Amino acid sequence: MTAVREQLPEGRYGRGRDADARADRTLKRAGVVLGAVAVVLVGWFGWAKITGTQVSGEVIKFQVVSDSAVQVHIEVLKDAGTTAVCTLRSVSEDGDEVGRRDVRLSAHRSQIDTVLTIRTTARGTSAELVGCQPA
Protein backbone atom coordinates (compact mmCIF):
# COMPACT_ATOMS: atom_id res chain seq x y z
CA MET A 1 0.00 0.00 0.00
CA THR A 2 1.02 3.49 -0.60
CA ALA A 3 1.37 5.90 2.22
CA VAL A 4 -0.76 9.05 1.90
CA ARG A 5 0.80 12.20 3.22
CA GLU A 6 -1.46 14.61 5.09
CA GLN A 7 1.07 17.42 5.39
CA LEU A 8 2.60 19.50 2.63
CA PRO A 9 6.24 18.96 1.77
CA GLU A 10 8.53 20.90 4.12
CA GLY A 11 9.68 24.31 2.76
CA ARG A 12 7.91 23.93 -0.54
CA TYR A 13 4.91 26.23 -0.13
CA GLY A 14 6.29 29.09 1.95
CA ARG A 15 6.38 29.47 5.67
CA GLY A 16 4.24 27.43 7.99
CA ARG A 17 1.07 28.36 9.77
CA ASP A 18 2.95 29.54 12.86
CA ALA A 19 4.79 32.16 10.83
CA ASP A 20 1.52 33.39 9.29
CA ALA A 21 -0.09 33.68 12.71
CA ARG A 22 2.94 35.60 13.98
CA ALA A 23 2.78 37.99 11.00
CA ASP A 24 -0.96 38.49 11.58
CA ARG A 25 -0.36 39.38 15.24
CA THR A 26 2.38 41.84 14.26
CA LEU A 27 0.11 43.53 11.69
CA LYS A 28 -2.73 43.74 14.21
CA ARG A 29 -0.43 45.37 16.78
CA ALA A 30 0.88 47.84 14.20
CA GLY A 31 -2.70 48.68 13.17
CA VAL A 32 -3.76 49.27 16.78
CA VAL A 33 -0.74 51.51 17.42
CA LEU A 34 -1.28 53.54 14.24
CA GLY A 35 -5.00 53.84 14.98
CA ALA A 36 -4.28 55.08 18.51
CA VAL A 37 -1.80 57.65 17.18
CA ALA A 38 -4.38 58.86 14.63
CA VAL A 39 -7.05 59.23 17.34
CA VAL A 40 -4.64 61.18 19.55
CA LEU A 41 -3.66 63.51 16.68
CA VAL A 42 -7.28 64.18 15.69
CA GLY A 43 -8.13 64.88 19.33
CA TRP A 44 -5.13 67.18 19.73
CA PHE A 45 -5.92 69.26 16.64
CA GLY A 46 -9.63 69.36 17.51
CA TRP A 47 -8.89 70.58 21.02
CA ALA A 48 -6.50 73.23 19.67
CA LYS A 49 -9.17 74.43 17.22
CA ILE A 50 -11.89 74.63 19.86
CA THR A 51 -9.78 76.31 22.54
CA GLY A 52 -7.71 78.36 20.08
CA THR A 53 -7.07 82.05 20.26
CA GLN A 54 -10.22 84.09 20.66
CA VAL A 55 -10.42 87.68 19.44
CA SER A 56 -13.45 89.86 20.10
CA GLY A 57 -14.23 93.50 19.61
CA GLU A 58 -16.93 96.09 19.83
CA VAL A 59 -17.65 99.59 18.64
CA ILE A 60 -17.64 102.00 21.56
CA LYS A 61 -18.81 105.01 19.53
CA PHE A 62 -18.60 106.51 16.06
CA GLN A 63 -18.79 110.01 14.66
CA VAL A 64 -19.49 111.16 11.11
CA VAL A 65 -16.64 113.58 10.46
CA SER A 66 -17.47 114.58 6.88
CA ASP A 67 -19.17 113.32 3.71
CA SER A 68 -16.08 111.18 3.06
CA ALA A 69 -15.04 109.96 6.54
CA VAL A 70 -16.40 108.30 9.66
CA GLN A 71 -14.38 108.06 12.86
CA VAL A 72 -14.81 104.86 14.89
CA HIS A 73 -13.68 104.10 18.46
CA ILE A 74 -13.26 100.33 18.93
CA GLU A 75 -12.14 98.08 21.77
CA VAL A 76 -10.56 94.71 20.95
CA LEU A 77 -9.86 91.89 23.43
CA LYS A 78 -7.26 89.26 22.48
CA ASP A 79 -4.32 87.28 23.85
CA ALA A 80 -1.29 89.49 24.53
CA GLY A 81 0.94 87.90 21.87
CA THR A 82 -1.72 87.60 19.18
CA THR A 83 -2.11 89.85 16.15
CA ALA A 84 -5.75 90.57 15.32
CA VAL A 85 -7.37 91.69 12.08
CA CYS A 86 -10.66 93.55 12.42
CA THR A 87 -13.00 94.59 9.61
CA LEU A 88 -15.01 97.81 9.96
CA ARG A 89 -17.61 99.19 7.62
CA SER A 90 -19.74 102.27 7.22
CA VAL A 91 -23.20 102.35 5.68
CA SER A 92 -25.24 105.17 4.25
CA GLU A 93 -28.77 106.18 5.22
CA ASP A 94 -30.31 103.80 2.66
CA GLY A 95 -28.23 100.84 3.95
CA ASP A 96 -25.61 100.71 1.19
CA GLU A 97 -22.02 100.09 2.24
CA VAL A 98 -20.02 103.25 1.55
CA GLY A 99 -16.75 102.37 3.24
CA ARG A 100 -14.79 99.37 4.53
CA ARG A 101 -11.49 99.04 6.32
CA ASP A 102 -9.41 96.11 7.55
CA VAL A 103 -7.23 96.98 10.54
CA ARG A 104 -4.26 94.94 11.78
CA LEU A 105 -3.77 95.27 15.55
CA SER A 106 -0.45 93.85 16.72
CA ALA A 107 0.14 95.62 20.04
CA HIS A 108 1.36 93.27 22.77
CA ARG A 109 -1.56 93.97 25.05
CA SER A 110 -4.70 91.98 25.69
CA GLN A 111 -7.01 95.01 25.43
CA ILE A 112 -6.65 97.56 22.65
CA ASP A 113 -8.63 100.79 22.61
CA THR A 114 -8.18 102.76 19.39
CA VAL A 115 -9.85 105.38 17.21
CA LEU A 116 -9.81 104.76 13.44
CA THR A 117 -11.07 106.61 10.39
CA ILE A 118 -13.01 104.88 7.62
CA ARG A 119 -12.90 106.72 4.31
CA THR A 120 -16.26 106.63 2.54
CA THR A 121 -17.51 107.13 -1.01
CA ALA A 122 -20.66 108.92 0.22
CA ARG A 123 -21.91 110.21 3.55
CA GLY A 124 -21.92 107.37 6.08
CA THR A 125 -24.55 107.40 8.78
CA SER A 126 -23.25 104.56 10.91
CA ALA A 127 -20.22 102.38 11.50
CA GLU A 128 -20.08 98.75 12.54
CA LEU A 129 -17.51 96.13 13.38
CA VAL A 130 -18.02 93.27 10.93
CA GLY A 131 -15.70 90.97 12.88
CA CYS A 132 -12.26 90.29 14.34
CA GLN A 133 -10.07 87.21 14.04
CA PRO A 134 -6.48 86.19 14.70
CA ALA A 135 -4.11 87.06 11.86
Domain boundaries, the chain: 1-52, 56-134
pLDDT of residue 6: 73
37-96 pLDDT tens trace: 999 999 988 887 777 778 889 999 999 999 999 999 999 998 888 889 999 999 999 999
pLDDT range class, residue 107, cuts 50, 70, 90: confident
Instruction: Give the phi and the psi of residue 69 in degrees, each rounded to 5.
Output: -155, 145
- CA dist., res. 114 & res. 65, Å (int): 16
Q: What's the farthest any 2 CA atoms get from each other in the chain? A: 116
Give residue 103's pLDDT band: very low, low, confident or very high (50, 70, 90).
very high
Cross-strand bridge partners of residue 117: 71
User: Comparing 22 with 13, which gets the higher pLDDT?
Assistant: 22
- CA 99, CA 61: separation in Å to the nearest integer? 17
What is the signed CA dihedral for 76, 79, 84, 87, rounded to 10 degrees?
-30
- What's the mean per-residue pLDDT of the chain? 87
Strands 97-105 and 84-91: antiparallel
| β-bridge partners, 64 | 70
Right CATH number for 56-134 from 3.40.50, 1.10.20, 1.20.120, 2.60.40? 2.60.40
Between 14 and 92, name the one with better pLDDT: 92
Q: State the pLDDT at residue 92.
A: 93
SS3 44: helix
